[in-house]
Amino acid sequence: MINITIQNIEEETAVLDVQQFEGHSLMEALKSSGYDLLAACGGMALCASCRIEIEKGIGALAEPFGQELDTLDVLPDAAISSRLSCQLKVNQEMDGMHIRIPKS
- Site residues for ligand FES per CB under 6 A: 27, 39-41, 43-50, 84, 86
CB nearer ligand FES, residue 15 or residue 79: 79
CB nearer ligand FES, residue 54 or residue 84: 84
Rounded CA gap, 44 and 87, in Å? 8
User: Whole-number minimum distance, CB 31 to ligand FES, in Å?
Assistant: 9
CB nearer ligand FES, residue 1 or residue 23: 23
Q: Judging by beta carbons within 10 Å of its beta carbon (0-12, 13-18, 19+), is residue 88 exposed, middle or buried?
A: buried
User: Whole-number minimum distance, CB 54 to ligand FES, in Å?
Assistant: 15
> Residue 51: what are its φ and ψ, rounded to 5°?
-60, 140
User: Whole-number minimum distance, CB 1 to ligand FES, in Å?
Assistant: 25
CB 68 within 8 Å of CB 95: no
CB nearer ligand FES, residue 15 or residue 75: 75
CB 3 within 8 Å of CB 17: yes
User: Whole-number minimum distance, CB 41 to ligand FES, in Å?
Assistant: 3
- Picking from 23, 21, 46, 19, the residue whose alpha carbon sits closest to that of residue 31 is 21
